[in-house]
Amino acid sequence: MAANVVANARGKKAPKSSPVVSLWENIKSLAGAVLIYLVINTFLIAAYRIPSGSMMPTLLIGDWLFVNKAVYGPHIPFTHTHLPSFSEPKRGDVVVFESPYQADNAPDYTPTLVKRLVGMPGDTLYMRAGLLYVNGVAQRQGFGIVSTPRSGGSQPTDIAPNFDWQHTIELKQSRFGPPPIQPQLDNWGPLLIPSSHYFMMGDARYESKDSRYWGVVPRENIRGRPSFVYYSYRSGDETDRPLSFITDIRWGRIGTFIH
């Protein structure tokens, strides 16, 4: 009797699932994969492409970066709130952030940018003859690119109306001397950086539209810190090869850690 039951059981075929059940299982699998991607992209790691030369030579046009979004506390979408962070931004970090409002940057008035953090809350910053001073100490730009305001960079003039925002945080009297009547690209400040705000600049300081133009960055705008270059290729004016993302890869850049 028992042998017959086992034999009958072995002979039975597994019931076929209906097309509706199979479709539902596939939808659940796809939704799970999408959810995992969204969680990782929102709270842990995101990809970012360098579109301009403002951070040369640290970052090149065509570099693709992995950005650590957890280090400063992941940003909760559609809010001004961050989850707990592993560390706080510090001077010298390369940082990804949402720009303060830029009226002249239509249609994206608050683009996501990557710059170097040069001014912390409570710091006094000023620039004289192109040299940046933080709390009175000259900041020799060992990582930066050699350039001048008249080297043919992307910024049209040494003076721009955008600089006028600086008057709101200028120190009219201090041991660092008075500010210029009209801030210029390489001659401005002293500025006192407000609480919970940061001053950002590009490493290529005369090819960079940065805090000098659009102001200090609130803490809640910070999105993460780039970790390393996972892909890089020459593009635009740098190459004449077709399909440069395949034919003109910068192999030596891949895996470069960002400091």
User: Is 235 one of the annotated active-site residues of the chain?
Assistant: no
Q: How far apart are CA 211 and CA 13, in angstroms?
A: 70
Q: Does 250 map to a domain?
A: no
Is residue 83 one of the residues assigned to a domain?
Answer: yes
Number of domains comprising the chain:
1
Q: What is the pLDDT of residue 236?
A: 76
Give the range of the structural domain holding residue 121, as residue numbers without chain letter. 70-224
Percent of the chain at pLDDT > 70 equals: 81
Is 121 within a domain? yes
DSSP annotation string for 87-149: S---TT-EEEEEPPP-TTSTT-SS-EEEEEEEE-TT-EEEEETTEEEETTEE---TTSPP--T
pLDDT tens across 13-22, in order? 556 667 777 7
Q: Note whether residue 26 is domain-resident.
A: no
Would you say residue 224 has pLDDT above 90?
yes
Q: What is the CATH number of the domain that holds 163?
A: 2.10.109.10
Candidate list 54, 99, 208, 232, residue with the active-site label: 54
**In this model, does residue 77 exceed pLDDT 80?**
no
3-state secondary structure of 239: coil
With H, G, I as helix, E, B as strand and everything else as coil, classify residue 194.
coil
Does 54 reside within a domain?
no
Q: What average pLDDT is seen over the chain?
A: 84
Per-residue pLDDT of 189-223, as tens digits, reads: 999 999 999 999 999 988 899 999 999 999 999 99
Q: Answer yes or no: 99 catalytic.
A: no
- Catalytic site residue from 69, 99, 115, 208: 115
Domain for residue 247, yes or no? no
Query: Would you state the structure tokens that stand for residue 135, as one six-digit string?
Result: 């709390």
